[in-house]
Amino acid sequence: MCGIIGMISKNEFSSGDLIEALKKLEYRGYDSAGLAMIDNGIRIVKSVGGIKNLEEKAEEWKARIGIAHTRWATHGSVTEANAHPQLSNNGKIAVVHNGIIENFQEQKKFLIENGFTFYSQTDTELIPNMIEYHMKRGYDFVEAVKRSLKHLEGQYAVVAIHKDENKLIGIRKEAPLVVGVGKGIFFIASDIPSFLDYTKNVIFLEEKDMVIVDDELQIFNLLKDAIVERPVVKIDWDAEQAKKGEFEHFFIKEISEQVEVISKLSMLDKEIIKDLADEIRKARGVYIVACGTASHAAMYGLYLFSKISKRHINFCVASEFPHFHHFLTKKSLVIAVSQSGETADTLAAIRAAKAADARVISITNVMGSTLMRESDKSIIQRAGPEISVVSTKAYTSQLAILSLLAYELAGKLEEGREKLKELIRYVYYLTSLNMREHVRKLAEGLRYTEHMYIIGRGLQYPTALEAALKIKEVSYIHAEAYAGGELKHGTIALIEQGTPCIVFTSKENEKETISNAIELKTRGAYIIGVGPNNNEVFDFFIKVRESGELNSICQIIPIQILAYQLALLRGCDPDRPRNLAKSVTVK
């Protein structure tokens, strides 16, 4: 959830450089931030609020080693004292941390009994003090870090520095940490975008890897108790992709990028799709699991595999999946869908599958992510870095991949690829200024709304779920989605004069869905139609041409735009919704 970064360079860099790198991780948390640099001792600055506040407060320091942190609070309220970096009692060791130390209370008690004092409510403060404790017993910095982290339970990614050591040390357990290898400069960070301005060469650390960087780089694996080699991978992400450029927010930039994503995926290597489809063909019992937006993509897969490939797969939100482990055998296949590849609930689901010797394949956007490394096979979404906390282009890329898989399973991959190609120009239109202007009129009418209902049948049902999530997470309007036929089984009691209801239609289910819209209108609802044909029941209409099985890709786009505009009109920050973090790395 938090974003951490460490930088070590042959040449001096400034606190401003470190803050710039940290900004690329702000999507991971933004309730407080801080940095520490080694310059005649440890200089440290922290602030509550977004990185902008830290930037205003920080002086222009220069150093060759520094660490920084942007926080999404778990232990301890949002205060400067609880912000990272956290210091050891002797002021020599500073640490940034992402994750949760589960046994921190007993470890803290142990340190207090050994004379240490705690100044924050964080679990993190334990780490620098534990390192100090081991150093006092004669271990050097590296060995002390190793000993300290070995006995900590939970999930963590940590970067540590010592005022007298020309070293940066990083260590990971069930939380993401990657190494950027530049010319005379190294980074240890939660995610790649933070160092893309300097290098595209990345080392993906494995579980319990500890990386020590001074003039050289060495990786020690705590599980193997040995020095290990990890390959340097050149990634094809671009520094510009991780910047806002001419756009005001990442959210709208990423909505606009969907056209490139669809275009790239329409040309995806056939063998990659065939390989995964073969896994599905071979399996006895296929389960698709994911969380949040990715779960709506997974649910789309459920409908699509039935419709196009005439195959039944089982869908489950990842956090519930471990309750179904009883059905898993070594012939089962679990397909996990996750943009980040780091979502704790999704990882727990695939670990439950692995425990039953089932096969696991994944659809993920992040190369080298934990999900990718723990899966038997993976497909990379090719959506490029998704920085906005609210997922848009990653979602449509998941839909596109699932559609290709469904077509391949039906022996019609070429048809699927052609359909995606035909969509490219249209997706461009859907993200254009014309569409944005049209949707803005709707947003103006809805800006003071408190509740909204959204319905769709068949493939439009997961679209309705995703539309509701988009509106909720970014505009804080309560939006609830139902399968078209379900609302009348209870929730229709909540419809009053003027209650906005979005109704997704398609050629296939137009009649029934319009009947449902009429039921709502009869109770006073304000009906917003999204689909191929206007209808007298609609008070507002967003035309989205009929695209059959790919309607889901097209129909969500105007609602992503609606959510964005509602956020702006209601004074919400679209890139940094309250209480959320991009990847939820805690269960």
Smallest gap from Cβ 179 to ligand AGP, in A, equals: 21
Beta carbon of residue 290, minimum distance to ligand AGP (angstroms, whole number): 6
Q: Over the range 24-60, which residues count as b (16 or more CB within 10 Å of their CB) and which as e?
A: bbbbbbbbbbbbbbbbeebbbbbbbebbeebbeebee
DSSP state of 382: -
CB nearer ligand AGP, residue 362 or residue 505: 362
Q: Between residues 86 and 343, which has the closer beta carbon with respect to ligand AGP?
A: 343
Distance between CA atoms of residues 492 and 497, nearest Å: 12
Residue found under tokens 């989205």: 544
Q: Catalytic pick from 167, 243, 253, 582? A: 582
Q: Which is nearer to ligand AGP, 298 or 568 (CB)?
A: 298
Q: How far is the CB of 346 from ligand AGP (least distance, A)?
A: 5
C-alpha dihedral sign at 373, 379, 380, 383: negative
Cβ-contact 403, 551 below 8 angstroms = no
- The least CB distance from residue 362 to ligand AGP, in Å, is 10
Q: Output the residue with the shortest Cβ distance to ligand AGP.
A: 292
Does the annotation count 582 as an active-site position? yes
> Closest distance between ligand AGP and the C-beta of residue 227, in Å?
32
Beta carbons within 8 Å of 50's beta carbon, 6+ residues apart: 26, 30, 33, 576
**Footprint on this chain of ligand AGP (rule: CB under 6 A):** 291-294, 338-340, 343, 346, 389-391, 473, 580, 583-584
Closest to 34 measured CA to CA, from 59, 17, 51, 20: 51
Q: Which is nearer to ligand AGP, 15 or 396 (CB)?
A: 396
Q: Would you say 168 or 389 has its CB closer to ligand AGP? A: 389
Q: Provide Rg for the chain, Cα atoms.
A: 25
Q: Which residues contact 320 (CB under 8 A, 6 or more apart)?
A: none
Closer residue to ligand AGP (CB): 126 or 178: 178
Concatenated DSSP letters for 213-271?
ESSSEEEEETTTTEEE----EE----GGGGS-TT-S-HHHHHHHTHHHHHHHHHT--HH
2, 291, 316, 572: which one is catalytic? 2
| Rounded Cα distance, 560 and 153, in Å | 39
Q: What are phi and psi of 23, to 5 degrees?
A: -55, -30
Q: Which residues are catalytic, by number?
A: 2, 582
